[in-house]
Amino acid sequence: MTFDFDKLDELARAGSRLKIGKLFENGNRFADFSASDDGILLDFSKTHLTEESRSALLSMIDRAGVAAARDAMFAGEKINRTEGRAVLHTALRAGSDAVISVDGADVMPEVRQTLARMAALTEAVRSGTYAGQGGAFTDIVNIGIGGSDLGPAMAVQALAPYHDGPRCHFVSNVDGAHLADVLKLLDPARTLVIVASKTFTTIETMTNAASARAWMAKSVNDPARQFVALSSSVERAEAFGIPAERVFGFEDWVGGRYSMWGPIGLSLMIAIGADCFDEMLSGARAMDHHFRNAPFAENLPVLLAMVGLWHHQGMGHATRAVIPYDQRLARLPAYLQQLEMESNGKGVAMSGASLERPASPVVWGEPGTNGQHAFFQLLHQGQQVVPVEFLIAAEGHEPEMAHHHRLLVANCLAQSQALMKGRSLDEARRIVAGRFEGEELEMQARQREFTGNRPSVTIAYDKLTPYRLGQIVALYEHRVFVEGVVCGINSFDQWGVELGKELATALQPVVEGRASTEGLDSSTAGLASYLRT
């Protein structure tokens, strides 16, 4: 089954001629073009969608086979066809009663056992039963990259109000500055290092892990005792010096960018405790249930995907800005950037045929209000239109600073309103009248004109708790899945990552001076020669 992109083009051409503000002449616009479930509100009323285009899009999404693909994913079928794997990150949060089979075997007993082992280690670290040479651990260093870094790094920052365990630090870049800047602040005798690599061969992660071990060995008698591995390769972890009882594995049906719900989330569990971690899993599980059971017209992941398809594949907007009005969600745009662009940044359909149009927009963003004083200039007055997704909580975690949060909310609402309304040239002329006249007045007025009619979506919720964070992340995971199904691609492989890694391995001896530049293109050869040390 395929999605009718020709029909989408037709709808988008009609939609592009509309003024979003005019659509609000219908007093029920907000009620008709918003949806909510279990404390999450999705407002997509400030878009060019009409009742006709929404109905047509949902019908096309249905005919594209999203429901069947969704059911196949949750059932453990091998929907990752290029790698012959099931896609079951949802199993990591499925709960105590779930039964999920892969190749005829229930995977849930092992999932529950691993989570129980994680909880036991967490309690041992937090209580001081498992300690370093210098006493109870004060700091955790998670060494990983990509999905082994972005998920827990984002969530640890997001849930900072719930931290009552050791401080958490994250090292991902193979640039030695990243590791050095983190380690120089820590006491090696009271630091626990978590090495996160499914295969335990990721070159950046293992290089950083070896350097961290060397740093610790300078003052700790048995540095390996203060290391934990998150890996499916017990043998390689043991060869590194980490015993099997401190190795936490996960199956190949958990992709890296979908993995923070299990062992990759260990640093988060240690920071906030097993109970709060379980609350986050419960939030994600609730969104899973909603995605599986809600009608498409009320289904938050489907509706968010519908808006994404409308803006990118329909209206032709090449990028999407994610702007959380929450400082603690500062890493969410980067997390979603990987989630969407690594999942759906493909040029080939499952059939092997080239796609007729791009499957993924460029996803980027920063927290509000900082962005207002940086790139919002382009969002409001640039020639290109960038749909914006705002995230905002009704309540912050600092009651003594409630006035700060009220100002934050006002700014968030004002930005979405300004993107939609703009400012007419006549209004701008009135602003500068009396200070300028003639051609100078006209020029000054033009600088203050805003075209408006720029779309945005707002996701609102009561407060950023572990449960809410679980819902939000699962919402975006399923949104990416729906968009991938509609575009006819495999959202769960990442072959685009491979080539650069292979070439880097081949170039390392050249950069180190152990091999010549013969056979390289002149640019690569010239740069290698210049940078060789």
Q: Could you report the per-residue pLDDT of 283-307, keeping only the tens digit for each? A: 999 999 999 999 999 999 999 999 9
Average pLDDT over residues 364-381: 97
- Of 244, 272, 300, the position where a domain reaches its end is 272
Q: Is residue 206 part of a domain?
A: yes
- pLDDT above 90: residue 2: no
- pTM greater than 0.85: yes
In a shared domain, residues 474 and 511: no
Query: CB of 321 within 8 A of CB of 377?
Result: no
Distance CA 207, CA 303 (A): 43
DSSP 95-140: -TT---EETTEE-HHHHHHHHHHHHHHHHHHHHTSS-BTTBS--EE
In a shared domain, residues 449 and 464: no
Residues annotated as catalytic (active site), given as ranges: 342, 373, 501
Q: Is residue 168 part of a domain?
A: yes
CATH number of the domain to which 525 belongs: 1.10.1390.10
In a shared domain, residues 343 and 267: no
Query: Rounded to whole angstroms, what are the CA distances from 28 to 33, 34, 335?
Result: 8, 10, 35
- Of 206, 239, 272, the position where a domain reaches its end is 272
Query: CB of 450 within 8 A of CB of 422?
Result: yes
Q: Is residue 470 part of a domain?
A: yes
CATH number of the domain to which 339 belongs: 3.40.50.10490
- pLDDT above 80: residue 1: no
Residues in CB range of 457: below 8 A, 6 or more apart: 42, 43, 44, 46, 47, 304, 307, 387, 388, 389, 390
pLDDT value, residue 75: 95
pLDDT value, residue 532: 86
In a shared domain, residues 341 and 256: no
Q: What share of the chain is helix, strand, coil (3-state, %, to 5)?
A: 55, 10, 35
In a shared domain, residues 363 and 388: yes
Domain range enclosing 228: 98-272
Q: Could you report the per-residue pLDDT of 319-334, keeping only the tens digit for each? A: 999 999 999 999 999 9
Q: Could you report the per-residue pLDDT of 177-233, keeping only the tens digit for each? A: 999 999 999 999 999 999 999 999 999 999 999 999 999 999 999 999 999 999 999
- pLDDT above 80: residue 533: no
Average pLDDT over residues 27-34: 97
Q: Is residue 502 part of a domain?
A: yes
Distance CA 407, CA 410 (A): 5
Measured from the Cβ of residue 230, the count of other Cβ atoms closer than 10 Å reads 29
As for how many domains the chain has, the answer is 4
In a shared domain, residues 446 and 462: no
Q: Could you report the per-residue pLDDT of 46-88, keeping only the tens digit for each? A: 999 999 999 999 999 999 999 999 999 999 999 999 999 999 9
pLDDT value, residue 358: 95
- pLDDT above 80: residue 150: yes
Q: Is residue 143 part of a domain?
A: yes
Of 135-149, 333-347, 362-376, 519-533, give the lowest mean pLDDT range.
Answer: 519-533
Q: Could you report the per-residue pLDDT of 385-435, keeping only the tens digit for each? A: 999 999 999 999 999 999 999 999 999 999 999 999 999 999 999 999 999
Positive or negative CA dihedral for 257, 263, 266, 272?
Answer: positive
In a shared domain, residues 286 and 391: yes
Q: Is 18 exposed, middle or buried (0-12, 13-18, 19+ CB in 10 A)?
A: middle
Which of 13, 20, 46, 53 has its CA nearest to residue 451?
20
- CA 416 to chain centroid, in Å, comes to 22
In a shared domain, residues 448 and 462: no
Distance CA 459, CA 42 (A): 5
Q: Is residue 76 part of a domain?
A: no
Q: Is residue 139 part of a domain?
A: yes
In a shared domain, residues 242 and 324: no
- pLDDT above 90: residue 173: yes
pLDDT value, residue 498: 86
Q: Is 264 exposed, middle or buried (0-12, 13-18, 19+ CB in 10 A)?
A: buried
Q: Could you report the per-residue pLDDT of 331-341, keeping only the tens digit for each? A: 999 999 999 99
Distance CA 108, CA 122 (A): 21
pLDDT tier for residue 469 given thresholds of 50, 70 and 90 = very high
In a shared domain, residues 438 and 370: no
Q: Is residue 88 part of a domain?
A: no
Q: How big is the chain, counted in residues? A: 533
pLDDT tier for residue 241 given thresholds of 50, 70 and 90 = very high
- Of 229, 246, 272, the position where a domain reaches its end is 272
Average pLDDT over residues 158-174: 98
In a shared domain, residues 13 and 131: no
Distance CA 4, CA 491 (A): 20
Distance CA 280, CA 262 (A): 11
In a shared domain, residues 196 and 290: no
Average pLDDT over residues 438-459: 97
